[in-house]
Amino acid sequence: MATAGKVIKCKAAVAWEAGKPLSIEEVEVAPPQAMEVRVKILYTALCHTDVYFWEAKGQTPVFPRILGHEAGGIVESVGEGVTELVPGDHVLPVFTGECKDCAHCKSEESNLCDLLRINVDRGVMIGDGQSGFTINGKPIFHFVGTSTFSEYTVIHVGCLAKINPEAPLDKVCVLSCGISTGLGATLNVAKPKKGSTVAIFGLGAVGLAAMEGAKMSGASRIIGVDLNPAKYEQAKKFGCTDFVNPKDHTKPVLVEMTNGGVDRAVECTGHIDAMIAAFECVHDGWGVAVLVGVPHKEAVFKTSPMNLLNERTLKGTFFGNYKPRTDLPEVVEMYMRKELDLEKFITHSVPFSQINTAFDLMLKGEGLRCIMRMDE
């Protein structure tokens, strides 16, 4: 590439301060340093995590910043020491990484890489402590190692999954965060048996991906739990057979509805009451509850130890227990084999210049995923 080794000037959506609309600016993107890759982003989606850090109500505000982490792109150039990717490779950036060397990466059970696990407060690259983005020489902070709201971005090689170049990036880009998180929570962690009963708490994109996993596993009854009754209609497309709105009941009803409890529950809201309810509604003897949603940092999980002694299991998961580089290419292949339907998660699409429309849609709770097309 003629651009390799040089600074690239391109468009990016910059968050200058908390809660203010993003502004499309010309930014300078530095060439990749050792173990880094510069990626041309073709499609990026908006995930609730971007909105959360843009609002910056519950965490350290880091501004000005280029947000974005759910995307698909093509390698433009690679830094020193990068051997597994070459210019032209199709990649999905991931907010957590896989160095392949640490104890977690070498464990079959973990995907919590010591080197590259998510760090939401760091606005720079781990290699040289620089952000990789500037406007008129002033640094613009990076976000979770990805910063995909830019036509070009610099990412550590360990945070890029190399995928089948035949896969349409405007569809599989949603696998780089939310859909894999929910799907893996069910397929890799809850592991419902064929014919079982599964409850899904929270019917946003992650919850519906968990529900899709239950449907793919052959669950016979899938109960959606959400405070918004309008979510039921949409959830039916993902296999939802029953719907419970906790506001309609003064006491927990799932145990009664299911003759002693559900076989599996997956919690995707992050609200502590829902987490406790998800665990307490699973059947004794074999029930498993999986926590996916991230709670408020002061939250405390309280339940009677008897619930555990009566052979219920409580598990947590991060990014659906997928190792990004090792496992994501196979999830893409599930889509290519038509075992996994991604189209129904993509409810809106706008040109990148209209990124604030995507934020408005999410703030109103409309749709699931909005894809932004970088070339428009």
Residues involved in catalysis: 47-49, 69-70, 99, 102, 105, 113, 117, 177, 369
> Which residues, including other chains, have CB under 8 Å from residue 230's CB and lie 6 or more apart?
none
Using alpha carbons, select from 83, 103, 88 the residue that is nearest to residue 158.
83
Ranges of H-type helices in the chain:
48-55, 103-106, 169-172, 178-184, 205-216, 231-235, 254-257, 272-280, 305-309, 324-336, 355-363
Q: What is the CA radius of gyration of the chain?
A: 21
Question: Residue 63: how many CB atoms within 10 A of its CB?
Answer: 16
Other residues' Cβ atoms within 10 Å of the Cβ of residue 336:
15
State how far the Cα of 146 lies from the Cα of 134, in Å rounded to an integer: 15
Provide the 3-class DSSP secondary structure of residue 184.
helix
Number of C-alpha atoms within 13 angstroms, CB side, residue 31? 12
Residue 234 CB-density burial (10 A; 0-12 exposed, 13-18 middle, 19+ buried) = middle
